[in-house]
Structure 1
Amino acid sequence: MLKRRVFVIGCGMTKFEKPGRRENFDYPDMAKEAVTKALKDAKIDYKEIKQAIVGFCYGESTSGQRALYQMGMTGIPIYNVNNNCSTGSTALYMAKQLVEGGHNDCVLALGFEKMERGSLGVKWTDRTFPLDKHQAINSELYGDSKGPRAPILFGNAGEEHMRKYGSKPEHFAKIAYKNHKHSVNNPYSQFRDEYTMEQIMSSPVIHRVLTKLQCCPTSDGSACCIVANEDFVRPHKLEPQAVEILAMEMCTDLESTFSEKSSIKLVGYDMAKKAAEKVFAQTNYKPQDVDVVELHDCFSANELITYEALGLCPEGKAHELIDRNDNTYGGKYVINPSGGLISKGHPLGATGLAQCSELCWQLRGEADKRQVKNCKLALQHNLGLGGAVVIGLYKLGFPESKMQSKL
């Protein structure tokens, strides 16, 4: 099958908010804001959208239709998807496949979430819990732990890294320090406060190495990206802003997730590694060529171990990358210039599309005070436990048009 080049031509998102903080911010309102911004960015009308993929984790089954009907009753197919925390990038991945396979020339991916305050709980107690295998392995390794499930799993992964490779609590705190510092310059971030290392390390302990300021919050918000093929881009004269998705892969849990009795494996290390390897194998690039990364830092421990899974450094050397400041401005990579999930917030269905939006703005040179200098290649990592990970690699599709537009 002939694969067509796929470009992100429009991005839009709301500010991420503490659940319930913003009045009149139900999911149709936030979706309308994000979609309207994306359409304006792409300079197109909603009538030009051929299909839409809508992601959310909490809500009734056809909330995607309700969210988009206000944009126009055009009769297009609208699909509702839920893939835990990787829902937003799953919507984008499916939109890309529709365009890449020649089914449509322009498809919209939307994600939103209206969340409850506090740690995520179980909604359905009369059926098998999707993370029951994860919980069983975790209990076998560490015994039964009381408290929220996610920080327990990721906190144990962080402790395993310290045991095996010599990282220290300070390395995890440095990640949170960096991301909070980055978020100061992001008007879309839920939190825009800068903290000292002492404040981060002395904030309340959630589980093992993880303190409160190293954990992402629950959030309300929405993000939208519009993808199109070259036959759509050129007549609409969108070359200067079109960001090409060079490669994008989704991977789910492997046998090693459970068989190797490792907390690091349990939270998605191997599926992230496999997806990243597949992405780079499709291109002429390697991880060291990347300039900017939006990485799923639901907890600081996950950011640290994912440096290694993505190939940004050798296995067991993530803490050395941190000590060299190779994860922030002035270093080898700028990781989570948006502030990441820890500071920007984490409305589950919107996160992957917010990551894509940030990377597109970086590649287009439109990230304002958080702009990464000479940004040419961008990497995305979006993870959902239980489990799926989406990895994407981006660059400007027509860099010569971008240069001409500046003249």
Structure 2
Amino acid sequence: MQRTYVIGVGMTKFDKPGSKQGDYPDWAAEAGGKALADAGIDYSLVQEAYAGYCYGDSTAGERAIYGLGLTGIPIVNVNNNCSTGSSALYLARRAVKAGLSDVALAIGFEKMERGSLGMKFPDRTSPMDRHLARLVELRGWDESAPFAPQLFGAAGREHMELYGSKPEHFAWIGWKNHKHSVENPYSQFQDEYSLQDIKDAREIFSPLTKLQCSPTSDGAAAAIVASERFVDEHDLWDRAIEIAGQALTTDTPATRDEATAIGVVGFDMTRDAARLALDEAQTAIGDVDVIELHDCFSTNELLTYEGLGLAEVGHGHELVERQATTYGGDGPVVNPSGGLISKGHPLGATGLAQCSELTWQLRGQAAGRQVDGAQVALQHNLGLGGAAVVTVYRQPQVAA
């Protein structure tokens, strides 16, 4: 098995659906072109590609990538709900790790509709039918609330009931991520709010207000993964960031048929993926300096603190009380990009935008949002229905 490295990343600015110039092929060409330029290589050297999107016709991945060139390489379309971008990265990395290719492209894009997510094919079984049935069994159902914030809001309510967290803890996470995004030119929102602004925003589903929920977004992001041999032969060590560990997990009975409300939204998938990725990287969560995690809702960020092992189960809100996960805190900086809540959430692009941010952080290229001295980074991307991808990145260990 070969060591694997991210050698180039790129993304578009994320924008409100309908406000972005162009169409998904334009955005993919921009993100992919930036990644190639960042790597300093020509598209002709890419040996295979994985294109992630959730909303689009079959083979939209080919149409998107053809903007970079028509070289006849294998292109695989990927759809794994909100973890689509990281799933594309996972497949690209596996191809390189196994020695099947020396250079693989992962690209993700989305052209979305305004408003809350919904099911696109109501005439057939929903992939989440059993998850939703379990939540109804546990907590009932509110017909007036969109399904996604209801799922994650219910998990937050359960955490409050079991462990004593409060709405203020979740509001602080929304405040933090909006504050972080002020320094991110790629972010859909770059507005700073007071904590009271977050609390007073329109309630979507208690304890979640609008400013604690990720928006729908348009945009694209890309990453190029290469083997150690390729990096060495092309002398790319000045830009290479190692993918030291990575895991993709899916549902078990603990995340569906036997789940709590917290389990329904993927806690166990997150925990298992984190353990596997950290184990492969031979590192501990305490060694991680910076994290991009799946804060689709502020409640999920707090739950993910526990799933990743940053806090013991039931104690995630103590990190909030210490303000541990922002600049100057005693934990890793979490979501320096602004996270999904503020940066935006074009489903197919999200995981690759996270990869871009962490690559910049480890290179020291994150400008005003730079985490000082970052050496190890962790990415968490979650899709209900379901899949969780956790990736551990680190500075390359180059032989003398």
1:305-359 CA distance string (max 9 Å, x none): 0100000111111111111111111112100000000000000000000001100
State the distance in 2 between where 1:211 and 1:68 align. Answer: 37
Which AA in structure 2 matches 1:298? C
Residues 1:37 and 2:22 aligned together: no
What secondary structure, in the 3-state scheme, does the structure 1 residue paired with 2:278 have? helix
| In structure 2, distance between residues paired with 1:50 and 1:152 | 42
Amino acid paired to 1:5: R
Q: Is the 8 A contact 1:240 1:399 kept in 2?
A: no
Other structure's SS at 2:283 match? coil
Query: Distance between the aligned counterparts of 1:251 and 1:344, measured in 2?
Result: 25
Q: Is the 8 A contact 1:139 1:145 kept in 2?
A: no
Shifted more, 138-147 versus 78-87: the winner is 138-147
Quote the offset at 1:40 in angstroms.
0.4
Deviation, 1:231, is 1.1
Q: 1:241, CA displacement in angstroms?
A: 1.1
Residues 2-401 of structure 1 mapped to structure 2, 5 A cutoff = 3-23=1-21, 25-146=22-143, 147-331=145-329, 332-398=331-397
Q: Which letter does structure 2 place at the counterpart of 1:388?
A: A
- CA positional deviation for 1:8: 0.2
C-alpha separation in 1, matches of 2:152 and 2:284:
27
Q: CA RMSD in A?
A: 1.1
Shift of 1:78: 0.5
CA distance in 1, matches of 2:163, 2:345: 29
- Kindly provide the CA deviation profile for residues 141-196 of structure 1, in whole angstroms up to 9, marking residues without a partner as x: 22221121110000000010111111110000000000000000000000000011
**1:283 Cα offset (Å):** 3.0
Q: Compared with structure 1, are the counterparts of its residues 117 and 318 closer, same or farther at alpha carbon in structure 2 (3 Å cutoff)?
A: same
TM-score, length of structure 2 as denominator length:
0.98
Q: Unpaired runs of 5+ in structure 1?
A: 402-407
List runs of 5+ in structure 2 lacking aligned partners.
Answer: none
Contact 1:112 1:222 in 2 (8 A): yes
**Separation in structure 1 between the aligned mates of residue 225 and residue 126 of structure 2, nearest angstrom:** 35
Superposed CA deviations along residues 180-213 of structure 1, whole A, max 9, x for unmatched, are: 0000000000000001111100101101100000
Does the Cα contact within 8 Å between 2:245 and 2:392 map onto a contact in 1?
A: yes
Shift of 1:225: 0.0
CA offset at residue 298 of structure 1?
0.1
Distance, in Å, in 1 between the alignment partners of 2:237 and 2:88 is 24
Q: Following the alignment from structure 1 to structure 2, what is the Cα–Cα distance between the partners of residues 111 and 283?
A: 25
Aligned equivalents of 1:195, 1:334: Cα separation in 2: 19
Identity %: 59
CA shift, 1:398, in A, is 4.0
- Taking structure 1 as the reference length, the TM-score comes to 0.96
Contact 1:240 1:398 in 2 (8 A): no
Secondary structure of the 1:273 match is helix
Secondary structure of 2:233's match?
coil
**Contact conserved, 2:245 with 2:277, CA < 8 A, in 1?**
yes
Aligned-partner residue type, residue 209 of structure 1? P
- The one-letter code matched in structure 2 to 1:370 is R
Between the aligned partners of 2:25 and 2:292, the Cα distance in structure 1 is 26
2:271 counterpart SS class: helix
What is the number of residues matched between the two proteins? Answer: 398
CA distance in 2, matches of 1:169, 1:126: 37
- Is the CA contact 2:281–2:392 (under 8 Å) kept in the aligned structure 1? no
SS across alignment from 2:256: helix
Q: Which range moves more in the overlay, 318-327 or 216-225?
A: 318-327
Residue pair 2:253, 2:259 contacting (<8 A) in 1 also: no
Q: Report the CA distance between 1:258 and its aligned residue.
A: 2.5
Q: Match of 1:38, as an amino acid?
A: A
CA distances 1:55-97 after superposition (whole Å, capped 9, x unpaired):
0000011001111112111000110010000000000000000
Q: How far has the Cα of 1:399 moved from its partner?
A: 6.4
Once the two structures are superposed, residues 289-311 of structure 1 have per-residue CA deviations (whole angstroms, 9 ceiling, x without a partner) of: 11000000000000000100000
Q: Contact (CA 8 Å) 1:239, 1:398: kept in 2 or not?
A: no
Between the aligned partners of 1:223 and 1:283, the Cα distance in structure 2 is: 25
Q: What is the rounded CA distance, in whole Å, between the counterparts of 2:353 and 2:85 in structure 1?
A: 8
Shift of 1:261: 4.0
